[in-house]
Amino acid sequence: MIGFDIADGDIAEKGSLNRFLEQDIFYVFHLAAKTFVPESWKDPFDFYRINVLGTLNVLEFCRQTGSGLTYISSYLYGEPEYLPIDENHPLKAYNPYTHSKLLAEETCCFYEEKFNLSMTIIRPFNIYGPHQPPHFLISEIIGKIFNPSTDKIELMDLKPRRDYVFLDDLVNALFQTIDGPRGIYNLGSGFSVSVGEIANMLIELTGCRKSLISKGISRPNEVFELYANISRIRNKLGWEPKISLWDGLKVCLEN
């Protein structure tokens, strides 16, 4: 398996993947992207450059080599018009990050149609796992549980509900796409869990005695519930999540 990371070069630079053209690569997983939404408002140019031009660079590589491609997109549905959210739900770009991912998806679909590229798009909902940066919810809560300088766990709002799927389940789904039917697939658990429920699970798992406190402050344009319809990926790829939220949180705490 061959990898290309930020230390190997700029994914958005034309020709940066040419060094791999003579290697026997038959399939590509494209995960390279800038993802932190607040940063996308501060520096939208770099998000479009890396997420759109970087994807174009990968598509060109696949076009030249005949490689298959799985593109890891994002949640692109905005505030749900209905639940559960299936792949036919209208797409909405609600920040520069999601707009860049939407444009990248459109570029992928164009290459698939015009250059006969063999391609699958995965739209993950909330992926979690060990060692996520502290601005992710689960890492934030774990950090506050083990912070000796405070006797409480204070969070902005306990009500929003999201669909969480463990990193290992994502990896398994990606491998299923190599030989599975091409298409666009939601990736999630198929149910929602609130911020408060996750915090209480982590408190129970750790035996923490700190108080859980909500500031009652909602983010602007907050979506209070979303979860995926995963029937397409289950029926066509034979995939479904294997790791429960409880077990996934245990892994996060142990690593």
Q: What residues does each domain of the chain span? A: 1-124
Class in CATH terms, 1-124: alpha beta
pLDDT given for residue 1 in this prediction: 84
pLDDT given for residue 6 in this prediction: 87
pLDDT given for residue 219 in this prediction: 81
pLDDT in tens, 179-210: 999 999 999 999 999 999 999 999 999 999 99
- Where the chain has pLDDT below 50, the residues are none
pLDDT in tens, 68-98: 999 999 999 999 999 999 999 999 998 999 9
Q: Is the pTM of this model over 0.75?
A: yes
The rounded distance, in Å, linking the Cα atoms of 255 and 249 is: 10
